[in-house]
Structure 1
Amino acid sequence: QRKQPTEIVNIDVPSKYGAWATNNKTGVSGGAIDMDSRAAAEKAAIKNCEQGGRNAPCKVAVWVRNGCIAVAQGKSGKKWTAFPSAKEPGLAEADALRQCRASGSSQCSIVANEGCSMPKY
């Protein structure tokens, strides 16, 4: 009996992107997931953050390709600071909290639950 040769099939699965933007003066933020490009994700995150210009200017704090974003917030003195994280699924929230605590901030908590941008098969 002869073995058939193994056939290798490559499947092109487009990447997905996500981004998180924030206005450092006001603390307002917004994000986007499941976008087809980094540019589209960043543009949508800024648009969501700025809410029609009321909260401008917002800047992208973190972006992800085929991964997840979560954001923790903590207090240092009277100032609240956001700690965004981009990681693989299941790790973004823990990393955001770790960053917050490592900064010496108090009252660290997740303010944006993990949102993932993963390829669709």
Structure 2
Amino acid sequence: MKSINLKEKYAEFNSLWHPHQIAEVDDMQVLLAKIQGEFVWHAHEDEDELFQVVKGTLHMQFRDRTVMVKEGEIIVVPKGVEHNPMTPNGEEVHILLFEKKTTAHTGKMHYDITKNQYPKI
């Protein structure tokens, strides 16, 4: 067991919209990602997804509204809810995700940006 320094882990990668696994907790995984711009609309039919904003401001779009998630805040997207993460004004945002190991990057939808595996750092 050892502590994990998030700043050091974020410094290990530059790719956008590509989560990196930093820990496992039972059947869950802890992921870090850098995001910028707009992602893609998708849902996870069988898994909830927790987003924590480590740096910046995340705008989580839902079909009926957009929720602003500021640095130090979290949002939980319930299973089956279609969502589209985005960042305002081209800002690079750092997020921590907590989700089941079985959660597919973009649910059942597949795009060029979809990742099938997350590297461990």
Shorter-chain TM band: under 0.3
Q: Normalising by structure 2, what TM-score?
A: 0.23
**Higher share in helix:** 1
Q: Normalising by structure 1, what TM-score?
A: 0.23
